[in-house]
Chains A and B, each alone.
Chain A
Amino acid sequence: MKRQSRIAAEIAWSAGGVSTIRKARAARTAAYVLLIAGAGIYLLPLLWMFTTSLKSSQGVLSFPPEFIPSTFHWENYPDGWKALPFTRFTINTVLVTGLSVIGTLISCILPAYAFARLKTRGRGAIFAITLATMMIPAEVLLVPQFIMFSKAGMVNTLWPLILPAWFGNAFYIFLLRQFFLTIPQELDDAARIDGASDWRILWSIILPLSKPPLVAVTVFSFVANWNNVIGPIIYLRSLDKYTLAVGLKLFQGQHVTDYNHMMAVSLITIAPIVVVFLLVQRAFIQGATLTGMGGR
């Protein structure tokens, strides 16, 4: 169906003649200019982290600040990595992030479907409560939550960082529900007449049509878990249980921060996030539809 409409669009465009094509080209150039200019600003942190990671301890605070160090200290990378058991931290982080992302997807898709598709008394109230949970400042909830996990004997294990992800998250449920709602009800009705169960409708109709929001939830929960600092700091006690984010923070002392090693290890640890992002962002394929510019 989409292919047909695309062809229709192409016909419409070619009918517009040379001027439309020229316009499209100009628009594409404009888009590139804007993208590159914006990318310059948005790349700053990475560039800055990179140059900092190559400086000597003294060069980090040289004055006036120099952007490119005079000598490149590549050894900051292996030195930084060896300063703490970062390989161990990586294993822990992958474990926490992997299990949390899977848990988040499962535990948020199901309630989002229920809120979007199944009608019952009390649905509105439960949904309102769901949203309300986002509005309570997490910093005070931390203490009662800690006491709970402490009573369950889970302090200094990775469980307090993984388990909650398997029982839903209001933000992701809200997000998915909003997108599920935009999928026409007629599609499920047709399937239901053919005898499809909820599971079948969810699996074969809703989820395939919800690739973009699922990607968003995957990316968000991946980044949130990968970078989570306060959770691991509160719940974990021994070094062999720590995650990357905590390890990075240990470069920061009471009086001195070891910036060059911290940035070197930071860059290593954000690489997987960038790779995951590049892989999943391809789900945003519609493109070119908004202003009519861009290639086809």
Chain B
Amino acid sequence: MSARAAKKVKRNSPLAKAESRRFYLFLTPWIVGLVVFSGGPVLATFGLSLTDWSLLTTPHWIGLGNYQRMFSDEVLLKAIWNTLYFGGGATLASVSSTFLIAILLNQKVRGIGIFRAIFYLPAIVAGVGTALLWTNILHPDFGLLNFVLGKIGIQGPGWLTAPSWAIPALIIMSVWGAGNTIVIYLAGLQGVSVTLYEAATIDGAGWWGRFWHVTVPMMSPVIFFNMITGFIGSLQAYTLVLIMTDGGPSNSTLLYGLYIYRQAFQYFDMGYASALAVGLFGIIMLITAVQFLFARRWVHYESK
């Protein structure tokens, strides 16, 4: 019997059928959610991307017009570049730095719970407070950041007021606010077995050896998870720039998400906004797929 035939038999066996039934039973709430809360709206978005809907008038079918428009939209090109710069920078910076913070927060020292809460605070304090706080910290003349830089002899840049420093400033902010990534790492660290460290110690590994040969490979699936979801999140980000810079100066912080928001709710062009959303979806898909391709080289699944 060929392997294929064997598989077929297995698939049709009563046991397999029962498992399939259970699979769909467990999945029921999600499939309903998928169809109703995501599927319908997603299909609607695809449909609307083929119209000139202004949100206030009846939509008219314009075929691929919105998509053609995307190819000659210079502002969109700028937004894509900003978004890749911000998304890549923010994801890599926060995925790496929060990993170290999480290791620090996983130490068994007194009061660690309080420290964890403190490091998670920026993720809780959302919205206007954060925006105003950071405009103060980043102010070229009065800001804390340039004050500290000045103390060590560095003339700080204008940050949010300088086109070339605005995205780095946003990246710093997003690292600071990445409390969720810390929590996911902490959760992952609970699964790294003590015995592995013991074995490594007995083999004579120092702290670096234990970190590099035990922690990093054991945590690679979690790092990978944070990379994937970090990219997805930061490529869609827009609320903070909406409050803080509104895309300026010189469109240097015009992120893709902000451009969609503008088209929809400031220019009243929901059709084009929908097409842009489909475009962003495509970009994120592509980046995610590339990450999965490279994942084989570095993501370590122990018992494979």
Contact = CB atoms under 8 A, between A and B. Distances in A.
Q: Let me know if chains A and B touch directly in the complex, using CB atoms closer than 8 Å.
A: yes
A136 interface: yes
A42 B119 contact: yes
A238 B236 CA distance: 30
Interface string B116-143: 1111111111111110110011000010
A219 B181 CA distance: 12
A282 interface: yes
A118 B22 contact: yes
B127 A248 contact: yes
Contact of A140 (B45, B105, B122, B132): B45
Contacts of A296: 108
A48 B144 CA distance: 12
B187 interface: yes
Interface size class of B (residues with CB under 8 A): 35 or more
B299 to A, nearest CB: 11
B238 interface: yes
A162 interface: no
Nearest to B107: A294
Instruction: Specify which of B107, B183, B201 lies most central, judged by the most chain A CB atoms within 10 Å of its CB.
Output: B107
B119 A38 contact: yes
A220 B183 contact: yes
Interface in A27-51: 27-28, 31-32, 34-35, 38-39, 41-46, 48-49
Contact of A286 (B23, B144, B192): B192
Given A198-B22, A262-B128, A168 B30 contact: yes
Interface in B255-304: 257, 260-261, 264, 270, 273-274, 277, 280-281, 284-285, 288
Interface in B100-121: 101, 103-109, 112-121
A136 B215 contact: no
A229 B197 CA distance: 44
Interface string B183-212: 110111111111101100110000100110
A56 to B, nearest CB: 17
A203 interface: no
Contact of B29 (A121, A168, A282, A290): A168
Contacts of A256: none
Given A168-B34, A175-B184, A266-B125, A12 B201 contact: yes
Given A144-B45, A167-B29, A220 B180 contact: yes
Interface in B121-178: 121-130, 132-133, 136-137, 142, 144, 176
A46 B190 CA distance: 29
B225 A44 contact: no
B232 interface: yes
A99 to B, nearest CB: 14
A293 B112 CA distance: 14
Interface stretch (B35-43, B66-74, B84-92, B244-252): B35-43
Contacts of B197: 9, 289-290, 292
Interface string A182-205: 100000000000000010000000
B103 A277 contact: no
Given A111-B26, A182-B221, A164 B33 contact: yes
Instruction: Specify which of B115, B124, B210 lies most central, judged by the most chain A CB atoms within 10 Å of its CB.
Output: B124
Contacts of B136: 48, 65
B285 A43 contact: no
A114 B153 CA distance: 57
Contacts of B31: 126
Instruction: Specify which of B106, B225, B288 lies most central, judged by the most chain A CB atoms within 10 Å of its CB.
Output: B106
B127 A140 contact: no
B186 to A, nearest CB: 5
Contacts of B75: none
Contacts of B229: 134, 171, 174-175
Interface string A96-134: 000000000011101101100011110100100111111
12 contacts: A65-B136, A114-B23, A132-B281, A138-B236, A139-B260, A164-B37, A168-B33, A178-B221, A248-B127, A287-B107, A290-B211, A290-B214
What 8 pairs between A and B have smallest CB-CB spacing? Answer: A167-B33, A212-B187, A287-B108, A168-B30, A114-B26, A144-B44, A144-B41, A288-B108
Given A45-B133, A289-B193, 18 more contacts: A43-B121, A48-B136, A111-B27, A120-B20, A130-B30, A132-B281, A133-B34, A133-B42, A141-B42, A167-B29, A178-B221, A182-B191, A213-B187, A259-B132, A284-B189, A286-B190, A286-B192, A290-B214
